[in-house]
Amino acid sequence: MRRLAVFAGGWTLEGSEAVCAGDGIDVSDVLDLLTQLISKSLVVMDAQTDQVRYRMLETVREYGAERLVEANESAGVRSRHRDWYLGLAEQAETELGGADQVAWLRRLRAEYDNLRAALEWSKADEHSADAGMRLALGLWQFWYVRGDFSEGRMWLETMLRRYPARDALRAKVLREAGFLAWRQGDYRAAAALGAEGLAIFRDLGDAAGMGGALYLLGSVAFYQGELDRAKELHIDSLALRRQVGDKRRIAISLNFLGEVARAEGDYGAARAVYEESLELAREAGDQRGVATATGNLGYVALREGDPDTATKLLKEGLAAAKQLVHKLGIAGYLGGLAGAAALAGDYRRAARILGAARTLLSALGAYLSTPDRSQYESSTQATRAALGDETFAQLVDEGAAMTLEQAIDYALNGDPEGDGQER
């Protein structure tokens, strides 16, 4: 019981076997011991989720934690707990780029209290600098997709301060911290982090690492309006990724070159690279990449004056982003669907969706890309002009008051009150 107290927010049988066995407890005994604790109401079993989980009432957990310290077992058990969740995070880093993204995001959400506890122990333990870096690195995509940019960046930068080695691990953490800073709009910090990471990757001759760092620096340049520099950096990134042969990341680089083309108003070129990106993302099983390319094709259709095609594609992107709980993607697709509604003359609907998108972006502390922001602003102007300031503000407020689920449902399925086209 005292060993189980290191778990936060519940655990699985597999986790308790890894953390609690040893020093007098065989792995084969763990299930029987859990059953005994359940019979004494010291552990609660929860079978409501996909996987059976166990948990303690907080008062019982606090009591167990005190006994763990008294038994002089705390450091050893907490280290095993950290190592178990480090393994989970490192596996997740790979799986979040594959076909099982949704399942792995769900698993990390279920275990996030434990992952936070493992991060805290890594920060407190002077011998855990390497493990803390690896743990934070394994979780960066989880933070990125969820829109937890501030928390993720805090952990990555905390671990960097404790890790002086100039190696591939440091370079990767620098790069991923830069991605989160970029999404926060902190472009100076993002560029500095990316440049430091790129220098290390170059010294190591790491083509894959250089490709990722150049992608970050190109993205920062793009968001600062430096289109020529952004294109050059993304072309260099793409070349390195083609050299490595990583389909998923080739698709990602192609997608951003599509963003540059769209910002330049070259919609034919944008469509061509988005379509190539989509094909490669499908081959790689990257659901997030599929959603991104699909949604961007919807934006091209919107710019070309085809609201029906734009709506279809943007809804596909939004549905996929909903599954992944990819909040920044959701905000972008909402903005696009507002534009499609405005283009079709459905201004009341457009205003509500604009309000929902604005609220989500504000909550994330994030920014849309240059072409997406341009579309959002033009849709806002057209909708306000059609409705008048008072009606526009009222409907935007209605959209802003929706929950995330309500906003997604409204954008995908129409007006819940069933009043159809509202012109």
Mind listing the pLDDT tens digit for each residue in 333-376?
999 999 999 999 999 999 999 999 999 999 998 878 878 888 88
Query: Residue 215 in contact with residue 252, Cβ under 8 Å?
Result: yes
* Full-model pTM: 0.89
Neighbouring residues of 299: CB distance < 8 A, sequence distance ≥ 6: 262, 310, 314, 336, 371, 372, 375
Q: What is the pLDDT of residue 348?
A: 97
* Tens of pLDDT, residues 72-102: 999 999 999 999 999 999 999 989 887 788 8
Q: What is the pLDDT of residue 366?
A: 80
Separation CA 174–CA 196 (nearest Å): 7
Q: Which residue type, as a one-letter code, is found at position 177? A: A
Q: What is the pLDDT of residue 371?
A: 82
Within 54-167, residue ranges assigned H as helices are 58-70, 74-95, 101-110, 112-124, 129-146, 149-161
Q: What is the pLDDT of residue 415?
A: 61
Q: Quick one: pLDDT band at residue 125, thresholds 50, 70, 90?
A: confident
* Tens of pLDDT, residues 397-420: 999 999 999 999 999 997 644 444
DSSP tag of 50: S
Neighbouring residues of 131: CB distance < 8 A, sequence distance ≥ 6: 82, 83, 86, 122
Q: What is the pLDDT of residue 96?
A: 87
